Structure 1
Amino acid sequence: MYHARFSGTHYEAGLRWGRALARRGKFIARQPTFPVSEERRAFARGCLPAYREYFPEILEEIRGIAEGQGADSDDFAAFLFSMYAYGFGHCTCFAYADENTAMLGRNSDFLTSLEGLYMNCLYAVDGSRAFNANTTAFAEVEDGMNECGLAAGLTFVYPEERGFGLNAGMLVRLILEKCATAREALGLLCAVPSASQHTITVADGSGDIFVAECGPRKISIVRAEEGKRFVVAANNFFSEEMRGHGSPAGFDDWNAAGRYGAAGELLTGKTLSPADGRGVLADRRLCGYDRRTGADTVWAVLYDTKNGRIFRAEGNPSRRAFAEDDRLFSFAAKKRGGVDRRERSAV
């Protein structure tokens, strides 16, 4: 996992990063995972109006990245906009809240062959909230927390249905840039069309938590069951409302139901601290992969939304220790001329 920082306008942030990669001889369009089919290109073109309406800034960032790389921005948009609507990955996410604690945890399970490409990124771009996030790609993000103490994380669901809109990674990023509370994130998810099938788990510092099970035609909001303090998501839909829209029978979703059930067992009937939350992510029932198969938990992260703290294991958390990443607020303050906007929702 490598680390990058983004500031200035969206266009400037993208341009600087694209140029920095090019100076090191790194060109995104030459990566083996980059080529996209004409079907995906056509789908991405259909999504473009939604990006123009709901997230025009990201179009400027993509244009900047492409210019910095000496590439065609349409190629980059085709790759990014069709992610999750065609590809498939694996992850587990939970959120927990009680009177003293609020947190969101996520394991990202993916291919070990691409570990050198995974990125942790700090963003403090003009007109948006600063955030710390992680991604297996670029521009889109898969989990993160912003300076308000609002955290969000996605899980993929088999793309049985597609629609023109924003995909899961772009929705997570939009939440982190534009929202301060879980309530605002819920409003955004209900308003913005989804291109892919996915879940997005959200937690803020006040203890407001939910899972949104999202598809192009339907969205179901899952709250903690009576007597429980948590919500869980994996690589399928588990609510009654969305159950028939998830992965087809027999599809290899890396034991999504088993991971979902194990996370629920680990969280049930307990009062948890952020340290306990890290222990949940490190449980072998959630991350017990054999790396020789080419798959593993490639990072794990615990967002302490009550206190605005981030703990990340850059590798499988059963083997790699969590370390605190405390750069978000100082980075945001530096880019704003020394103003530290700790506007966490816990206040």
Structure 2
Amino acid sequence: MQQVKSVITEFRGSHFDFGLEQGKWLQTTLMMENREREWRIRRPRFDIDIQETKAAFKRFAPGIWEELLGLQAELKMDMTQIIQNFGHYRVYAKPSGCSVFTTEDYLVRNYDYHPATYDGRFTFFQPNDSGYATMAPVSRITGRMDGMNEHGLTMGYNFMHRKVPGDGFVCYMIGRMILECCQSVDDAVQFLKEIPHRSSFSYILLDKKGITQIVEATPRDIIVREHHYCTNHFEVLTHENRRVLTDSEMRMHNLKAQTNRTTDAANAFKIMNDPEAGVFSELYSSWSGTIHTSCYFPKDLSVQFALGGNNTPTTLNFQDWLDGKPLPVQSFTGQINSNITFASE
């Protein structure tokens, strides 16, 4: 077992200044050194077109482009390097796990991936130039893994496959754009129909009205379905699924067997976070170990969050932070059954 930590950060201001602030933090970590080593081992298999990428950001999330410019200004890197490391456009997302269950009151999620990709940061961000305020765990500095915005819109995503990729954004950037640009599930569904997708993912959405929908998205097709469970296979676009779905189907079976729409959030969280319940995964070296469990409550703008398994969640209230109250804690701690360290360590 390894003790792990995720730092809670907060920022109010422009996207450009947010980029500057993150650049300063990056220079105190080993993250860029680790990323450079990763690129040497796994050379980029995509072309970077600065103008194409800029145009895509300007259309869908112009504030995030300003954030990239802030990162560039602080890190003194050329724009090609900035886009390669932080743009999340036309890059490849590694296969991963993840399980999600929703009711009209909450969305609970296991984020399953490789610890070496985990930033170990949970960020509160209130922009003053464009976009909605958000709280979310961070993925690769500018992306988000799941989260909620000031309107109560909540998002999580699950990997499906990487075959036949398109020219578009990857999941963790799309997830962030949803939170910053959309007020409701209807808004998010329309956004997902318009934005170009690099790979195939399901996006699970819940808003303050209790509306929950799952969007099955590929570079070729997008469908919307009414459902409350999602692991790592499509239920409608089945022709897009990977051949081996044993682990995904097992987690889906275990999730359905132990939850229903009347299950209270505390029990749902325990089921997701308990390694013995059959949904939590310890396959860390296979890119699908559970790193965190999160449960979002859109109606009162709060989250329960825990690192690792069998952990008591910490509750944070987003509305309190929006009202200017100080955060009650500065970090999350937990244990994972792996000796692989987080990306910034």
TM-score by length of 1: 0.81
**Quick check: 1:92 aligned with 2:99?**
yes
**Quick check: 1:120 aligned with 2:122?**
yes
**Which of 156, 159, 182 in structure 1 is aligned with 2:159?**
156
The equivalent of 1:264 in structure 2 is 256
Q: Judging changes above 3 Å, is the alpha-carbon distance between structure 1 residues 195 and 75 closer, same or farther for their aligned structure 2 residues?
A: same
The equivalent of 1:297 in structure 2 is 290
User: How many angstroms apart in 1 are the aligned matches of 2:288 and 2:99?
Assistant: 14
Give how far 1:38 is off.
Answer: 4.3
The equivalent of 2:264 in structure 1 is 273
Aligned ranges for residues 147-226 of structure 1 at < 5 Å? 147-224=150-227
Q: CA-to-partner distance for each residue in 1:137-170, whole Å, 9 max, x for gaps?
A: 2111110011111100111121112112222212
Q: CA-to-partner distance for each residue in 1:303-324, whole Å, 9 max, x for gaps?
A: 01222220001222xx221110
Give how far 1:54 is off.
Answer: 1.2
Are the equivalent residues in 1 in contact too, given 2:90–2:166 (CA < 8 A)?
Answer: no
Aligned ranges for residues 326-345 of structure 1 at < 5 Å? 326=317, 328-334=318-324
User: How many angstroms apart in 2 are the aligned matches of 1:46 and 1:257?
Assistant: 38
The equivalent of 1:28 in structure 2 is 32
SS at match of 2:156: strand
Give how far 1:25 is off.
Answer: 4.8
Are the equivalent residues in 2 in contact too, given 1:313–1:323 (CA < 8 A)?
Answer: yes
Are the equivalent residues in 1 in contact too, given 2:273–2:308 (CA < 8 A)?
Answer: no
SS at match of 2:45: helix
- Aligned residue identity for 1:150: L
Q: Judging changes above 3 Å, is the alpha-carbon distance between structure 1 residues 187 and 246 closer, same or farther for their aligned structure 2 residues?
A: same
**Quick check: 1:237 aligned with 2:239?**
no
Give how far 1:46 is off.
Answer: 5.5
Give how far 1:103 is off.
Answer: 0.9
User: How many angstroms apart in 1 are the aligned matches of 2:196 and 2:288?
Assistant: 31
Give how far 1:286 is off.
Answer: 0.7
The equivalent of 1:67 in structure 2 is 73
Moved more, 164-173 or 205-214: 164-173
- Aligned residue identity for 2:320: S
Q: CA-to-partner distance for each residue in 1:64-116, whole Å, 9 max, x for gaps?
A: 1232223233213123425773422221122212xxxx11111011223455x
Task: Please state which structure has a larger fraction of its residues in strand.
Answer: 2
**Quick check: 1:9 aligned with 2:14?**
yes
Give how far 1:39 is off.
Answer: 2.5
User: How many angstroms apart in 1 are the aligned matches of 2:103 and 2:11?
Assistant: 30
Are the equivalent residues in 1 in contact too, given 2:97–2:232 (CA < 8 A)?
Answer: yes
Which is bigger in relative contact order (C-alpha 8 A, separation at least 6)? 2
Q: Judging changes above 3 Å, is the alpha-carbon distance between structure 1 residues 44 and 314 closer, same or farther for their aligned structure 2 residues?
A: farther
User: How many angstroms apart in 2 are the aligned matches of 1:54 and 1:27?
Assistant: 27
User: How many angstroms apart in 2 are the aligned matches of 1:76 and 1:194?
Assistant: 20
SS at match of 2:106: strand
Are the equivalent residues in 2 in contact too, given 1:134–1:144 (CA < 8 A)?
Answer: yes
In structure 2, runs of 5+ residues without a counterpart are: 1-5, 326-345
User: How many angstroms apart in 2 are the aligned matches of 1:278 and 1:84?
Assistant: 32
SS at match of 2:103: strand
Are the equivalent residues in 2 in contact too, given 1:161–1:197 (CA < 8 A)?
Answer: no
Q: Judging changes above 3 Å, is the alpha-carbon distance between structure 1 residues 60 and 39 closer, same or farther for their aligned structure 2 residues?
A: same
Are the equivalent residues in 1 in contact too, given 2:204–2:215 (CA < 8 A)?
Answer: yes
Q: Judging changes above 3 Å, is the alpha-carbon distance between structure 1 residues 277 and 215 closer, same or farther for their aligned structure 2 residues?
A: same
User: How many angstroms apart in 2 are the aligned matches of 1:44 and 1:262?
Assistant: 45
Q: Judging changes above 3 Å, is the alpha-carbon distance between structure 1 residues 204 and 86 closer, same or farther for their aligned structure 2 residues?
A: closer
User: How many angstroms apart in 2 are the aligned matches of 1:50 and 1:33?
Assistant: 26
The equivalent of 1:339 in structure 2 is none
Q: CA-to-partner distance for each residue in 1:225-262, whole Å, 9 max, x for gaps?
A: xxxxxx222222222xx111122x24xx6811211222
User: How many angstroms apart in 2 are the aligned matches of 1:54 and 1:114?
Assistant: 25
Q: Judging changes above 3 Å, is the alpha-carbon distance between structure 1 residues 25 and 233 closer, same or farther for their aligned structure 2 residues?
A: closer
Q: CA-to-partner distance for each residue in 1:279-312, whole Å, 9 max, x for gaps?
A: 2312431114266878631111000122222000
- Aligned residue identity for 1:234: T
- Identity of aligned pairs, percent? 19
In structure 1, runs of 5+ residues without a counterpart are: 225-230, 336-347
User: How many angstroms apart in 2 are the aligned matches of 1:42 and 1:181?
Assistant: 32
Are the equivalent residues in 2 in contact too, given 1:51–1:165 (CA < 8 A)?
Answer: no
TM-score by length of 2: 0.82
**Which of 304, 310, 325 in structure 2 is aligned with 1:311?**
304
The equivalent of 2:137 in structure 1 is 134
- Aligned residue identity for 2:167: F
